Amino acid sequence: MPVDPICKKIVPDSTEYVSDYGGKSYYFCSPECKNKFDTLEKSVIRLKRNLSEKEKISFGKLRKDIIKPGICTLCGACAASCEYITIEDEEPKLVGPCKACGVCYYQCPRTITTEEGLIGNLRYAYAARSALPELKGQDGGVVTSLLLYLLDEGLIDGAVVTRKSREEPWKPVPIVAKTAEEILESGGSIYSHSMTLEALMSAIKQGMHSIAFVGTSCNIDAVTKMQKSSHGLLHLFMRAKVLKLGLFCMDTFSQEGIKTVLGSKGLKMEDIEAMKIRKGKFEVGLKSGEEYSFELSDFDEYRSSSCKFCTDLTSENSDISFGGVGSPQGWTTVLTRSASGYELFNEAVDSGYIEARPLEDREMERVLNLAKMKKVQMYALHMRKKV
C-alpha cells in the first residue's frame, strides 16, 4: 500500500488524490496533502535530483575542476572506477575513449555534485515579497516584513539588524531593534562588514530571551559556533534563543573603497539612496532619482580579503536564508531550512505580512550557479597564482 509522502499515513492505491511527478505517482489521504505536495514538496524532490541529469560530464571536467587546480588527493577513486583512467607521474590521466558518463567525477572526493553540497540543507525554496503597503527593502523587503511579524506577535524581544550611521552615511551600524520603526529603518543592504555579534551580546546582556539575528553567512557561522561549540557562549551559559536569518553574500568592500570608486564619478555617499550588486554591476541610485552603474571589477582592490576565501553563498547554517539571486526584481529568494524557520516564515505568509510562491527550477538554477562560483573561487585563486 502506498504511503502519503506528506503525512506518512498508509493510503489505499484507489485513493482519488493522486499526483504524477517525474514519472512516478504519489498517493494522498486528503486534498490538503495533495495540495501541499503540488505546491511545495515537488521542489524538494527536484532538489534531491542528481546534477548528472542536467549536464554531460567527461574526464575533461575532472581535469579542469580538480586535477589542474592541484586539489587532487591521488586517492585513485577515478582510476578505480574507469578502465580509461590511470595514475601516472602522480596525476590521473585519460588513456582511452572517454564516454562522458560522469562516473569518475561523481566518485571524486573533491567535486561538488549535489545541490545540497552547493547550498546546504533546506526544506522549501520560495520567491517572496512583502505584502505590507509601501515597505521598501533591498529586494522584496521580506527580511523586514518577517521581523515586523515576529515583533507584532511577541515572538521576539528584539532583533539584531544593521542600519546606516547617521553621522557617516553608509557606515554599517549594528543595533538591537525593539520597535517597528527601528526595524523599518534597517531595510536595505550595506556592502561592508557589520559587527553584528556585538549587538547580539548587547541584546543578551539586556536580558532578551528570544532574538532574531540578521547577518551574512560569516555572521551566522559565528552565532552557530556560539550555540554549538563546546566553548560557545550561548551553549555554556547564555540561554537566549536566537533565530538566525542569513543573507546570501558574495562580497563585502571597505567603506573607504566604496567611497573612492563612487567618488570617481563625483558621487557623494550622503546623496546615495540605494546600492545594489546585480549581474556583475554595482548599481547606485541617488536620492535625486539619478542612477549610476559601475563594473563590479572596479571594486576588486577594496574587496575584503576574508571574502576571497569564503565558500558559503547562501548562509547554510541559518534557520532561513534570503537573497536577491534567482527571483525576479522586487522579490527575495527565501530558503527555509530549520523546522522553526519554516514554521515562522509560513506563519508570516498566512498572516498577510509576506506573499510567497515556490521558487521555480530555472530560478533555483541561478542560485546554484552562483553558489558554485563561490564554492570554487578558492581553486580559481590558486590557479591564478600558478600562472
The residues of the shown chain that bind ligand FAD, judged by CB under 6 A, are 137-144, 161-162, 172, 186-192, 194, 196, 214-216, 247-250, 252, 277, 322-325, 332
List the single partner that 246 binds among ligand SF4, ligand FAD, none, CB under 5 to 8 Å by kind. Answer: none
Please give the Cα distance from 319 to 337 (Å, whole number).
5
List the single partner that 274 binds among ligand FAD, ligand SF4, none, CB under 5 to 8 Å by kind. Answer: none
Provide the grid cell at 177.
Answer: 531593534
Q: Give the shortest CB-86-to-ligand SF4 separation in angstroms.
A: 11
310 in contact with ligand SF4 (CB under 6 A): yes
6 in contact with ligand SF4 (CB under 6 A): no
Provide the grid cell at 156.
Answer: 521576539
Please give the Cα distance from 129 to 383 (Å, whole number).
40
CB 158 within 8 A of CB 203: yes
In terms of CB distance, is 69 or 141 closer to ligand FAD?
A: 141
In this structure, the strands spanning 241-247 and 281-286 are: unpaired
380 in contact with ligand SF4 (CB under 6 A): no
List the single partner that 59 binds among ligand FAD, ligand SF4, none, CB under 5 to 8 Å by kind. Answer: ligand SF4
Please count the residues of this chain forming the interface with ligand SF4, following the rule CB under 6 A. Answer: 41
Please give the Cα distance from 339 to 317 (Å, whole number).
13
Q: Give the shortest CB-56-to-ligand FAD separation in angstroms.
A: 28
Please give the Cα distance from 194 to 177 (Å, whole number).
15
Subset of residues 209 to 248 that bind ligand SF4, contact rule: CB under 6 A:
216-218
CB 365 within 8 A of CB 325: no
Beta carbons within 10 angstroms of residue 31's beta carbon: 11
142 in contact with ligand SF4 (CB under 6 A): no
107 in contact with ligand SF4 (CB under 6 A): yes
In terms of CB distance, is 33 or 220 closer to ligand FAD?
A: 220
Please give the Cα distance from 318 to 282 (Å, whole number).
26
84 in contact with ligand SF4 (CB under 6 A): yes
99 in contact with ligand SF4 (CB under 6 A): yes
Q: Which stretch binds ligand SF4 (CB under 6 A): 2-10, 102-110, 168-176, 182-190?
A: 102-110
CB 360 within 8 A of CB 47: no
In this structure, the strands spanning 291-295 and 281-286 are: antiparallel
Specify the DSSP class assigned to residue 57: B
In terms of CB distance, is 6 or 119 closer to ligand SF4?
A: 119
In terms of CB distance, is 286 or 383 closer to ligand SF4?
A: 383
In terms of CB distance, is 6 or 371 closer to ligand FAD?
A: 371
CB 226 within 8 A of CB 235: yes
Pattern of binders to ligand SF4 over 32-71, x per CB under 6 A? --------------------------xx--x---xx----
Please give the Cα distance from 217 to 215 (Å, whole number).
7
- Among 114, 309, 333, residue whose Cα is nearest residue 221: 309
- Among 130, 354, 147, residue whose Cα is nearest residue 244: 147
Residues in the chain, total: 387
| E strand spans, 141-194 | 158-164, 172-177
Pattern of binders to ligand SF4 over 165-204, x per CB under 6 A? ----------------------------x-----------
Note the residues at the interface with ligand SF4 (CB under 6 A): 58-59, 62, 66-67, 72-78, 81-82, 84-85, 92, 94, 98-104, 107-110, 193, 216-218, 249-252, 304, 306-307, 310
